[in-house]
Structure 1
Amino acid sequence: MNASHHRKFEEVTLRTEPIFQGKIISLQVDTVQLPNGATATREIVKHPGAVAVLALTDDGRMLVVEQYRKPLEKSQIEIPAGKLDAGEDPLDAAKRELEEETGYRCESLRHISSFYTSPGFADEILHLYASEQLSKGEANPDEDEFLELEAITLEQAQAYMREGRISDAKTVMAVYAWQLYKLTGSF
């Protein structure tokens, strides 16, 4: 696609009103001019980005953590993940988050995909990596993180998805990437 095709749908920002500035996210309301000349407002969440790791153990299990997710008012089972610090390289952040949440270290990571989590209202991009060369260390979660580590089989992961215990996009995508990897040998 050429650049003019992308501009065909462009919404030009006329005004930005900051609403909230938090530790992790900020919220703004943009007034935009639509392609047909009309104006509209867009509520936008700004996020620094995040990383997640599909970590596979020597015996063919995926490392996951269970934690309570307040917006959902329930616990979820997810792959290790976390937000990028300002200016942090996603690869370094992925290694850091893996060790903090699980206690496992990895020498190398393979990039699977980077994707926007909710482009209708947020600019958060998530970088998904995979690692198979893990060494056990000691977990060091953030002081406000309460996690329980589990190493699960693909069949357990699929059952957790059916039960709704795994239902976030990054972990669902990781399970499908793992299934593809088991079938084809590549992500």
Structure 2
Amino acid sequence: MDKFAEKTLHTERIFQGKVISLQVDDVQLPDGNTSKREIVKHPGAVAIIPITEDGKMVLVEQYRKALERSLIEIPAGKLESGEEPRTTAFRELEEETGYTTNDLQYITSFATSPGFADEVIHLYVAKNITVVENKRAGDDDEFVELVEVTLAEAEQLEQDNRIWDAKTAYAIMYARWKGIVK
């Protein structure tokens, strides 16, 4: 058992939305005292590093309302109920980029904000990508533009704060470490 575990005494559900829910847990701390924890529940997500034949990364630019600005990111999306992460990765790759692959490799999974959320992102790399003839429609409220970049261009986008999210920064570090992009 984890020596720092906090026993949940009571859970109050505050909000249930389309993507997230919010709850407040009363917990017993390891020293016997009690406290409250505000927790965002999320079904999890996938993120994909698509690599073109000429060794570039395919990114998407989209507006992020929470930050009130557009960001350039690796394609990603929420797990649907009961859906395996690999299935989600294929779906999101096609919906967001119009590409598919027969070479989808799992890299790792990681928590995005463990101090207040339970979201876990499953990261994949997609090599040997090909254009889908009849692309699956994306979300009605999602507007994206493709951006193909070299590793040096991605790093410059980070310097310019155009790439500003953790999953994409992690993906760029991984791509550099493994030498999967030019």
Question: In the aligned structure 2, how far is the partner of 1:47 from the partner of 1:120?
Answer: 13
| Contact 1:104 1:139 survives alignment (8 Å) | no
**CA offsets, 1:151-183, max 9 Å, x none?**
11101100000011101111001101110111x
- Residue type of the partner of 1:181? K
Structure-1 residue corresponding to 2:169? 172
- Residue type of the partner of 1:52? A
- Say yes or no: does 1:42 pair with 2:37: yes
Question: In the aligned structure 2, how far is the partner of 1:74 from the partner of 1:157?
Answer: 18
- Residue type of the partner of 2:40? V
Question: In the aligned structure 1, how far is the partner of 2:75 from the partner of 2:14?
Answer: 31
Unaligned runs of 5+ in 1: none
- Residue type of the partner of 2:100? R
- Say yes or no: does 1:13 pair with 2:11: no
Which of 151, 156, 160 aligns to 1:154? It is: 151
Give the structure with the higher percent helix.
Answer: 1
TM-score by length of 1: 0.93
Structure-2 residue corresponding to 1:59? 54
Structure-2 residue corresponding to 1:145? 142
Question: In the aligned structure 2, how far is the partner of 1:140 from the partner of 1:21?
Answer: 26
Identical residues among aligned pairs (%):
56
TM-score by length of 2: 0.95
> Number of paired residues?
178
Question: In the aligned structure 2, how far is the partner of 1:16 from the partner of 1:142?
Answer: 32
Which of 65, 68, 71 aligns to 1:70? It is: 65
Structure-2 residue corresponding to 1:181? 178
**CA offsets, 1:79-116, max 9 Å, x none?**
11000000101001001000000000011311111000
- Residue type of the partner of 1:167? W
Question: In the aligned structure 2, how far is the partner of 1:71 from the partner of 1:177?
Answer: 26
- Residue type of the partner of 1:71? A
**CA deviation after TM superposition for structure 1 residue 140, in Å:** 2.8
**CA deviation after TM superposition for structure 1 residue 146, in Å:** 0.6
Question: In the aligned structure 2, how far is the partner of 1:140 from the partner of 1:72?
Answer: 26
Question: In the aligned structure 2, how far is the partner of 1:116 from the partner of 1:132?
Answer: 24
| Contact 1:103 1:140 survives alignment (8 Å) | no
Partner SS for 1:97: helix
Unaligned runs of 5+ in 2: none
| Contact 1:13 1:31 survives alignment (8 Å) | yes
**CA deviation after TM superposition for structure 1 residue 139, in Å:** 6.1
Question: In the aligned structure 1, how far is the partner of 2:61 from the partner of 2:109?
Answer: 23
Please give the root-mean-square deviation of Cα atoms over the aligned residues, in Å.
1.0
- Say yes or no: does 1:135 pair with 2:130: yes
